[in-house]
Amino acid sequence: MEKKQKIFLALLVFFLYLIPTFIQYSFDENFRISGVFLGLPRVLSGDEPHYLATIYSIAEDLDLDLENNYTDTYYNNQTDAGAIYSNTQGIEGAGRHCMYHGIGKGELCFPGHPIGMPLVFSIFLFPFANSTFLESAAIYLMMIVSVLTLFLLYKILKHYGASERHAIIVTLIWAFATPIWFYSKSLWPATLLMFLTTLSFYFFFVRKKFLPSSLLMSVAFVANYPMAILAGAKAFLLAKKKKFRGLAVFSIPIAITVAVTIIYTNLVIKVGHVPLRQLDTVGVGNIFFGLPALIFSPKFGLLVFSPILIFSLLGFREFYREHKDEAVWLALSFVFTWLLYSSVSYLASGIASFGPRYFVPFLPLFALPFMQWFKSNKNKYLWWLFLAVLAYSLLLNLAAVLFYPAFWDREVWWLASKVLIGA
């Protein structure tokens, strides 16, 4: 493919990610959609407002003391974006949308909402401090992170033997037939984690550079504590191969990061939180419910929202034969992440998200076993099945990007039932 064609495809992907960000929704007092309009993107629901408030706090003061202005950012007489839009999951008074902690309670959302993503984003967004444009700028930064991840995925596919044509096709499939598209217009940390994980994979397995990979996973840990699972799987591979020097280089920065995070959450914040998370928000649930829910639930199932991943499973055996270490790491990361979120009671069903966002951080890397199937399959019936699944995935993800409020905590066919039969 010529250079001009590559540039055209790259710009096409960028604009297809950009255009949906201008489609916005208004809500009534019952948090039901009351209108659609064109405008700059904004946070919508769930934990997004918490992350936005933390970005404001760091960007305004350029420090890590969240107690000094977290509530000011939220409840500033609607003079900033953090106070304009109500959280769809609960309100603690007029114009407020911090559903967990309120003024005077002496607690912060930070320990339950890790600081990593707001910290990274505030580095780029501090010019927008004290401005309502910071909210939209944060989401556009997340969109850019998504596009960069896709470019990195293309490079990784080429390294693992994909032809240029196959690498481009698979990258486009992952761009528009998986929840990567959906999360690119949100403020969920999952998108940043996806970029950090993919880049860390590149350094660890492709470049064999353990220190950059470790530093990236350290940042990922501060953004989401269970990312320690993905780092631990890499440490396991190094230990198994008795690469103890590499193990030390990889493990020490992460160990230091964990220690600093514990000290920060317990000694600096001083609001009675245990290390990393609050005890009262973590409980062991019914893992036998959580395991199938995260995969097959009509509201949150990974394969329900990303059925294209079936073909990643079909290609995994061949991927394991050719790239054992990468396959073992991907399998360990997936299985232990699956077990963790399946057994935590308040997360067992995937909570309010478009598909289980807990798998998004390593979702691009499922393209590697998919590539093995894609370039070697000779079964025409599987090709027909693939085309049908691809069409479904593209349609579903397009609908989710354009009508994203309708996909929070609802079955995939909920929107269709509203449109077709008015149910």
User: What is the tens place of the pLDDT at every residue in 237-286?
Assistant: 999 999 999 999 999 999 999 998 877 766 655 443 334 433 334 444 56
Return d(Cα 350, Cα 341) in angstroms, integer: 8
Give every CB contact of residue 170 below 8 A, 6+ residues apart in sequence. 157, 162, 367, 370, 371, 374
Radius of gyration of the chain (CA): 21
- Is the pLDDT reported for residue 148 higher than 70? yes
- Asked if residue 301 is part of any domain, the answer here is yes
Q: State the DSSP code for 274.
A: P
- Asked if residue 415 is part of any domain, the answer here is yes
* CA 70-75-77 angle, 5° bins: 140
- Asked if residue 1 is part of any domain, the answer here is no
pLDDT at 251: 97
Return d(Cα 98, Cα 100) in angstroms, integer: 6
> Quick one: average pLDDT of 114-126?
89
Burial 290-327 (b: 16+ CB within 10 A, else e): bbebbbebebbbbbbbbbbbebbebbbebbbeebeebb
Give the CA distances from residue 346 to residues 71, 280, 373, 411, in Å, rounded to whole numbers and listed in that order: 26, 11, 36, 19
Q: Structurally, how many domains does the chain consist of? A: 1
Give the CA distances from residue 341 to residues 12, 264, 305, 328, 337, in Å, rounded to whole numbers and listed in that order: 36, 25, 18, 20, 6
- Asked if residue 118 is part of any domain, the answer here is yes
Least confident range of 27-41, 55-69, 344-358 = 344-358
Return d(Cα 173, Cα 373) in angstroms, integer: 14
Across the chain, what does the average pLDDT equal? 80
14 token code pair: 């960028």
Strands, E assignment, 5-131: 23-27, 33-38
Residue 412: in which H helix or E strand, if any?
Answer: none
- Asked if residue 161 is part of any domain, the answer here is yes
- Asked if residue 406 is part of any domain, the answer here is yes
Q: State the DSSP code for 37.
A: E
pLDDT at 73: 43
Residue type, 217: M
pLDDT category, 29, cuts 50, 70, 90?
low
- The string of DSSP codes covering 129-161 is TTSTHHHHHHHHHHHHHHHHHHHHHHHHHHHTT
- Asked if residue 17 is part of any domain, the answer here is yes
pLDDT at 255: 96
Q: State the DSSP code for 344.
A: B
- Is the pLDDT reported for residue 418 higher than 70? no
pLDDT at 67: 55
- Is the pLDDT reported for residue 72 higher than 60? no
- Asked if residue 262 is part of any domain, the answer here is yes
pTM: 0.86
Owning domain of residue 267: 11-277+284-420
pLDDT at 262: 79
